[in-house]
Amino acid sequence: MAGAESRPSQGPADLTGLVRSASAGDERAWSELVGEYGPRVFALARSRLRDPDEAEEVTQSVFATIAIKLRGGQYDEHGRFESWLFRIAMNRVRDAVRRARRERGMASRRAAAQQDDVPASEDRSAPSFGALRDAVAALSPADRDIIELRYHAGLSFRQMADLLAEPLGTLLARHHRALRKLQKAIDSDADAHAADGQVTTPAGELQQ
């Protein structure tokens, strides 16, 4: 189960044909494209923005842009649809983060982050990942990109190398370092909680 869940998505078998059909107005092709990449874009936005409603807005904005550009024949990244899509997604997420910071202020965001940030109505069955999200949020932007593109957007390292225009070896090394930093941050947090009488799992979640 762990292997299947953690394996990056391979994408549709005939992505080029799908994009071509969607550009021609084939709604079934469009539905398939959004069905494949929509959840991944949402997961990326959700990880960064924390608010599911904002994440949905960003996701819709991304695919509206994609649809308009396909409509207008402005897609010319032949064979690199995924890089193009996630480049747009990352830019939209960054814009949304900047906008949120301006509107709310960093202090109110810290206060919001300390609360339960996964609404019960949305995520009743899944375990809370609040502490893990906090630790990821504390990473540097470059490290955070790697973690979120890898585990939320489901990109392979090769896809990330193409998207970020960085060597594959650099990304692999950065990924390893990011995990170690995360682990260290979680361990420090666990020590702090232990001092307060609370217990955390090795992966950083508080045990009830």
Partner 1 sequence: MNRDGDAHHDLPEEVRPLARRLAAAGLADRTAGAEVADRVVMRTAHLLREQAAALPAQRGLRRLLPWLVAPATVAACALLVVAVLRPGLTAEPEPRGVEVLAANLEHDLETWLELDAEWRRDSFENSLAALALDAASVAARADDPSALPALENGS
The answer to whether 197 contacts partner 1 (rule: CB under 8 A) is no
199-200 and 206-207: which strand pairing? antiparallel
Pick one of 176, 188, 191, 199: the residue that binds partner 1 (CB under 8 A). Answer: 176
- Specify burial of residue 150 (Cβ count, 10 A radius: 0-12, 13-18, 19+): buried
Taking the least distance from each CB to partner 1, the nearer of 109 and 156 is 156
Which residue stretch of 12-20, 60-68, 76-84, 92-100 sits at the interface with partner 1 (rule: CB under 8 A)?
60-68
Nearest distance from residue 106's CB to partner 1, in Å?
Answer: 23
Q: Are 23 and 71 in contact (CB under 8 A)?
A: yes
- CA triplet 203, 173, 113: central angle to 5 degrees? 40
Nearest distance from residue 105's CB to partner 1, in Å?
Answer: 26
Token code pair at residue 22: 């969607």
> Read out DSSP for 135-164?
HHHTS-HHHHHHHHHHHTS---HHHHHHHH
Residues that bind partner 1 (CB under 8 A): 2-3, 5-8, 22-27, 30-31, 34-35, 38-43, 46-47, 52, 55-56, 59-60, 63-64, 67-68, 70-72, 122-123, 126-127, 129, 132-133, 136, 147, 150-154, 156-159, 172, 176, 179-180, 182-183, 186, 201-205
